Amino acid sequence: MRKTSRREALGLLSVATGAAVMGTLFTGKASAGTGECKTPKTPWPYEKIEPAVAAERAYKGYYEGRCMYGVFVSIIGELADKKGFPYNTFPFDMMKYGVGGVNDWATLCGALNGAAAAIYLVSSNPKPLIDDLFGWYEVATLPDYRPLNPKFEIVSSVSHSTLCHNSVSRWCKASKLKALSKERSERCAWITASVAKRTAELLNSQAAGAFKAEFLLPARVKECRGCHEEKSPLENTRGKMDCSPCHFNLGTKHK
């Protein structure tokens, strides 16, 4: 029988390792020497995160993978450092898809997208947290967190929307700067930090049993839903976000 060379042995080890990694990704299971390690069902165990630490990590994460990645890694990356498995198995780079409102389509703000993903991963009751976060984002003057070492000083604005398009456009109007400027990119880094900070605060509050939902549908949204939501005369749409930033010139009769 021919002896296996050192190079061939290393090659076989590489193939075996690759197979184990692929098995983990596709089945959620990995060999663990004497047994089998299974990725647990969600929610994964949560541990308190310092909001300011999350904010700084998100700010830096923005420049690594932009808005969605920045918020997600600020929460789940912190938990990976604190707790290890299963957080350290997550493929963080996949969250880069949320850049610019998903692949620069300017839809849902990437920071909110990353936050919602993180919340669903660790919270046993994620929906009210997301409602509070999104409702806050619409009406708060943002960004409300200044990084320790900013590249520029940034003015704040109110988006009245969860959409990247509206959020950026309103900031451009307030700042008198361009959407593709370095300052706007820095502004979104600050927004990423602000959303990460707020997300950590909400998760900490819920984990401590102190969370009380604050989100209420604005009166104008209720008015719109009266005609357009489920069991209404038209029933042709759905949603919770403020309608007015996009539908701003309808008048009293627009059916």
Do 117 and 188 belong together in one domain?
yes
Boundaries of domain holding 160: 51-207
pLDDT band at 225 (very low <50, low <70, confident <90, very high): confident
Name the 3-class secondary structure at 87. Answer: helix
Do 113 and 236 belong together in one domain?
no
Q: Which amino acid is at 77?
A: G
Yes or no: say if 63 and 192 are a contact pair by the CB < 8 Å rule.
no
Does a structural domain hold residue 238? yes
- pLDDT tens digits, one per residue of 24-48: 444 444 444 444 568 899 999 999 9
Do 128 and 173 belong together in one domain?
yes
pLDDT band at 6 (very low <50, low <70, confident <90, very high): low
Beta pairing partners, 38: 29
Distances (CA, A) of 44 to 76, 90, 122, 158: 10, 12, 5, 34
pLDDT band at 218 (very low <50, low <70, confident <90, very high): confident
Yes or no: say if 187 and 171 are a contact pair by the CB < 8 Å rule.
yes
Do 130 and 250 belong together in one domain?
no
Do 164 and 226 belong together in one domain?
no
Q: How far apart are CA 105 and CA 171, in angstroms?
A: 18
Q: Which positions ≥6 away from 158 have C-beta within 8 Å?
A: 139, 140, 141, 142, 170
Do 191 and 133 belong together in one domain?
yes
Do 192 and 240 belong together in one domain?
no
Residue 175, exposed/middle/buried by CB under 10 A (0-12, 13-18, 19+)? middle
The sign of the dihedral angle between the CA atoms of 105, 108, 109, 114 is negative
Find the mean pLDDT for residues 154-175. 98
pLDDT band at 113 (very low <50, low <70, confident <90, very high): very high
Do 148 and 228 belong together in one domain?
no
The sign of the dihedral angle between the CA atoms of 216, 219, 225, 230 is positive
Q: How far apart are CA 133 and CA 194, in angstroms?
A: 11
Number of independent structural domains in the chain: 2
Do 155 and 181 belong together in one domain?
yes
Does a structural domain hold residue 38? no
Query: What is the full DSSP assignment across 102-141?
Result: TTT---B-HHHHHHHHHHHHH-SSHHHHHHHHHHHHHHS-
- pTM, to two decimals: 0.83
